[in-house]
Amino acid sequence: MSDHDREQDRPQGVTRRGFLGTVSAGAVVAATGLPVAQPAAVDQPQHSGGMVPVALRVNGRLHRLLVEPRWSLLYVLREQLGLTGTKVGCERGECGACTVLIDGVARYACMTLAVEAEGSEVTTLEGLMDGEQLGATQQAFVEEDAFQCGYCTPGQIMAAEGLLRANPSPGLDEIRHGMAGNLCRCAAYVHIFKAVGRAAELKKGGGR
């Protein structure tokens, strides 16, 4: 068989070996929200449709952008605004790594179109900080060691923040229910639940 014939017989597309060669392990994510060697977000495919103007208020700041109507809020936050505290996980509303607050309510950014968020207040992990000072929920996660690999931590913190804004004094069952939409591969749930309780205490003491 000639070299040309062998080349024709090779399967097209990405091979398993090629795929594994392109995948890198997720880096530990600090509770401060500062990016630490993050894996790149999946690029949005090119699209011939028109761009539309959108005004997004994120962490108290108004951003005027041109976006494609199909772009997710997750994509715009990370790739257009550089707010990489919001993590790319499953991108289908199952893991919670991309959780943000929209008008104070926890939402999956991967399942929310950027154009849907116009007119609302979007809060990301970075928005919980006061300069270099951690917010109460972030501080509680540090105190209770509520992370291992850390990749899910930003989404866990934002889910906890949304829960505490709606219910400042949740019991354990309420915490479990409120955090149920966020998965932790490392199974650090006991520490996560303790951190939510600790965050409630810090907030009552005047923490933001």
**Using DSSP, how many helices (H) and how many strands (E) does the chain show?**
7, 5
CATH number of 129-208: 1.10.150.120
136 contacts 203 by C-beta, under 8 angstroms: yes
Tokens of 67: 């976006």
Tokens of 146: 């509520």
pLDDT value at residue 79: 97
CB burial class (10 A; 0-12, 13-18, 19+) of residue 52? Answer: middle
Tokens representing residue 193 in the block: 């639940």
Is the separation of the CB atoms in 122 and 104 below 8 Å? Answer: no
Rounded (5°) CA angle 87-33-168: 95
**Which of 26, 54, 57 is closest to 124 using CA atoms?**
57
Is the pLDDT higher at 112 or at 45?
Answer: 112
135 pLDDT exceeds 70?
Answer: yes
Burial level of 142, CB count in 10 A (0-12/13-18/19+)? Answer: middle
pTM for this structure?
Answer: 0.76
Q: State the pLDDT at residue 143.
A: 97
The 10s digit of each residue's pLDDT in 39-78 is 454 455 455 468 999 999 999 999 999 999 999 999 999 9
- Crossing angle of helices 136-143 and 153-166, in 10° steps, is 120
β-sheet bridge partners, residue 62: 57
In whole angstroms, what is the distance from residue 77 CA to residue 167 CA? 27
Looking at residue 20, its pLDDT comes to: 35
Domain ranges of the chain: 50-128, 129-208
Give the range with max mean pLDDT: 8-17, 39-48, 54-63, 199-208. Answer: 54-63
> Which residue type, as a one-letter code, is found at position 41?
A
> What pLDDT is recorded for position 115?
97
Q: Let me know if 23 is exposed, middle or buried by CB neighbors in 10 A (0-12, 13-18, 19+).
A: exposed
Is the pLDDT at 166 greater than 90? The verdict is yes
Range picked from 11-15, 24-28, 131-135 for highest mean pLDDT = 131-135
pLDDT of residue 205: 82
CA–CA distance, 19 with 120 (Å, rounded to integer)? 39
Q: Which CATH class is domain 50-128?
A: alpha beta
Residue 188: pLDDT over 50: yes
Say whether pLDDT at 6 is over 90: no
